[in-house]
Amino acid sequence: MGILDFLTGEFIDVIHWVDDTRDTMVWRFEREGHAIKYGAKLTVREGQAAVFVHEGQIADTFTPGLYLLETNNMPVLTTLQHWDHGFRSPFKSEIYFVNTTRFTDQKWGTKNPIIARDPEFGPVRLRAFGTYTMRVAEPARFMTEIVGTDGEFTADEIAFQIRAIIVQEFSRVLAASGIPVLDMAANTAALGKLVAEAIAPAIAAYGLAVPEFYVENISLPEEVEKMLDKRTSMGIVGDLGRFAQFSAAEALGREGGGAGAAMGAGLGAGIGMAMGVQMLPQPGTQPGPWGAAPQALPPAPPPPPVETVWHIAEAGATKGPFGRGHLGRLVAEGSLTRATLVWAPGQDGWLPAGEIRDLAQLFTVMPPPPPPPG
């Protein structure tokens, strides 16, 4: 290479960064010997910032725009200013490009269950997960606190620390919220806002910001969810005896030809044997006339229906469950009115107590106010 080619290379220097990885947060401009030429052009695109590091210290931060590095007050020392060093500058400068766009779809979740006190179920163990968005708000602080001299820093390298902060603050916010477990699905947006505000100071210390935070799901342990499903099913079924009869009749109606017919025949044989056993004298029965079935005692009465229990909405919280008798006492005390919102398993949303037939009677049996004295 001739001297003219060498000088041409010394005079032309374009510093820029084009990223297509979608997860790189910081990238160092690689320059041989870290020497930045006098008159170099620095291009900082939208969604980027350029941080100048000179002799190990952050000298300046450049926002989007085109810069000509030629003024004397720039923290840049060039090779052409040092002919006595044979075009090699003894001073080194580095340029780091910082991605200031949002890094979306970042995952978070509770590794271990969070113990909280529920007003209805008592102590419960909860798990939660969701997503968040982060971005670099202060490039210089982010370089100082997190990146250091890393030439290529990705979002995965900071995600673990961010998740630890989120889980810590989420546990504290959830335990202090007092929101019942059954109402958490309707309050995930409010919880997300509270958690975002709680983690903001710790995240800002790293030069980062979390502009969006989402709570996607809050769940109970599997065993507790099964018990909750059984409790809901009991409220929906109502009369268990009639439900059992309906289920047996529906199963018989589904039996068809082939294997279904064989199963039906076996079921019929079993029913016949059971009927034969019933015709024999059993304890508590007496034989009937010759050739007739024994006279059995009257059948036992069906089990009483499952009592409906009610929940009351009051001052943004739920109370209950209460039986009908308890609600009658609340009506007598005046703490339950026709306009009070109540809910029972199987009911479609909250309704005023006066609009429910089983509860409206509680307000009609109340005696009128006593006459004035005298």
Euclidean distance between CA atoms 131 and 170, whole angstroms: 13
Distances from the Cα of 219 to the Cα of 128, 191, 193, 339, angstroms:
6, 14, 19, 32
- β-pairing, 14-15 vs 40-44, is parallel
Write the DSSP symbol of residue 301: P
**The predicted structure's pLDDT at residue 138:** 94
CATH code at 103-224 = 3.30.479.30
- Mind listing the pLDDT tens digit for each residue in 282-297? 555 555 555 455 566 6
> Sorting pLDDT into bands at 50, 70 and 90, what band is 85?
very low
Amino acid at position 83, single letter? W
**Helix (H) or strand (E) run with residue 342 in it:** strand 341-343
Q: Which residues pair with 313 in a beta bridge?
A: 318
**24, 67, 68: which is closest to 44 by C-alpha?**
67
Q: Are 143 and 52 in contact (CB under 8 A)?
A: no
Which whole number is the average pLDDT over 2-31?
70
Percent of the residues in the chain that have a pLDDT greater than 70, as a whole number: 70
Residue 345 has pLDDT above 50, yes or no: yes
Tell me the two tokens of residue 127. 């798990």
CB of 50 closer than 8 Å to CB of 100: no
pLDDT at 176: 83
Q: Which of these ranges, 4-8, 193-197, 312-316, has the smallest mean pLDDT? A: 4-8
CATH value of 310-364 in 3.10.450, 3.40.5, 3.30.1490, 1.50.10: 3.30.1490
Q: Are strands 24-28 and 351-352 parallel, antiparallel or unpaired?
A: unpaired
Q: What is the pTM of this model?
A: 0.55
Domain boundaries, the chain: 3-99, 103-224, 310-364
Task: Give phi and psi for 75, each to the nearest 5.
Answer: -80, 50
